[in-house]
Amino acid sequence: MSSISEFYEKDRGEDYYNRLIEEIGGLNGKLNAFNAIGSISEGFPFSVKDNICVKGIETTASSKMLGSYVPPFNATVVERMLKKGFGFLGKTNMDEFGFGSFGLNCAKPARNPFNEKYVAGGSSSGAAVATSILKYHVAIAESTGGSISTPAAFCGVVGFTPTYGTISRYGLIDYANSLDKIGIMARSGDDAREVFDVVRGSDGNDATCTDPDYHDRNTGNIFVIDELTNGASEEVMREFSRLLDSLAGKGYRIERKSLKILEKAVASYYVIATAEASTNLAKYTGFKYGLKNDKFYQKYNDFFSDARENFGIEAKRRIAIGTFVRGASVKDRYYVKALKVRRLIINELAGILKDGFILNPVMPIKTPSIEEAESLDPLTSYKADMFTIPPNLCGFPHVSFTYAYPDGMPIGAQLTAGHFDDYALLGFLKEWESGFKYRFRYDIGAL
């Protein structure tokens, strides 16, 4: 039984929701999961990442640049949840505009609920923390290059990123249009399935959204790609090898392959992502969009430069890189070449995924402490996404799930399927969870 069905087996009165909000508020000061907490009074609680619009609720993408933005409409995914009777709980914390792997690129970084000295992962950090601490809850999150898989793995929850284009992006504050995917975090695959059934499908507002014929293919084959394990720490590989042994014991056929083109995936991703990000963020000038600059006495360049100081360091870095790689003199050398590499990777991965799943560690390292993550230089931080980037770059559905707790901290694996094989992933999760029990430090809202 899903926790959604279990939730409705008991009457939940006003006292329940008041106590829930009070307990969340008390813990939020320590974990920074929420940027804003709503006034829920009915329905199964759901949270929304702070780059997805909720009518009448400040939506900032954790950026000072959007500090005063209050949407006059709901994103499609939010509207569909509300119409199905889910109750809006709040907006979750994130890396500014989705720029980050560890949840540190914001004013108040979220902290790992298993140990507050450790990162929660990014960019959907708050969504993962909220899901980990709440007994009855699902999170609407978003992924560009691993922003669901990574925090889900670090916080010990399920992170489901569907095929690109299966959930409408209407109402999403874009990072990179050809990469952004709205997804789901939950405490079980059954909960993720129920929410996916509610929110998937085109709405007429997103030209990239489609209504496909979904597949549910599970051939019993799991492929392990050398390039999606190379560089992982000894401890990560030790735990991952145990997972493979466990799956082999359940009847899965494990086959190893090499795909050299994946060595270019990180470079291709960051060229495409930063190029699209710099375009999307160009409109935030402090005049029509973004935090208003009222210094109209300034000269033209000074006015817009002053307004864009409201971007954080990482946002400025990605704008600068993206503006360069799409410049007229170098576009063919970087941006166009990156698009060609993406197409090659899609073709190569699709050839493998038609015969089974791909399984890999979510990250090459265990959950780092905040101090360790802060010491990483930008390039090292970008390279940490080398296992989560390929399916995101290519729009393949994937799911992050916990499979062990070395030293008391969760560690996750990422399973990838072919385009529109979303339900095959959720079916695998159901099977996995029948023999594995997730652990949580908090159970706020339990009765």
Say which of 3, 62, 63, 147 is annotated catalytic: 147
Can you list the pairs that 381-385 forms with residues at least 24 positions away whose Cβ atoms lie under 8 Å? 381/100, 381/101, 381/102, 382/101, 382/266, 382/270, 383/266, 384/101, 385/101, 385/145, 385/146, 385/150, 385/266, 385/269
Say which of 3, 123, 149, 278 is annotated catalytic: 123
How far apart are the C-alpha atoms of 146 and 76, rounded to whole Å?
Answer: 22
Q: Which of 175, 147, 177 is nearest to 385 (CA)?
A: 147
How far apart are the C-alpha atoms of 189 and 410, rounded to whole Å?
Answer: 17
Say which of 2, 3, 47, 49 is annotated catalytic: 49
- Is residue 121 within 8 Å of 150, Cβ to Cβ? yes
- Concerning whether 168 is annotated as a catalytic residue, the answer is no
- Is residue 80 within 8 Å of 170, Cβ to Cβ? no
- In order of 114, 143, 151, 299, the CA distances from 399 in angstroms are 21, 11, 12, 50
Omega cis (within 30) before 233: no
- Concerning whether 49 is annotated as a catalytic residue, the answer is yes
**Element at 371 (helix H, strand E):** helix 370-374
Region at 155 (left for phi over 0; alpha for psi -120 to 50; beta for the rest): alpha
Beta strands in 298-389 (DSSP E): 357-361
- Is residue 277 within 8 Å of 318, Cβ to Cβ? yes
Annotated active-site positions, please?
49, 123, 147
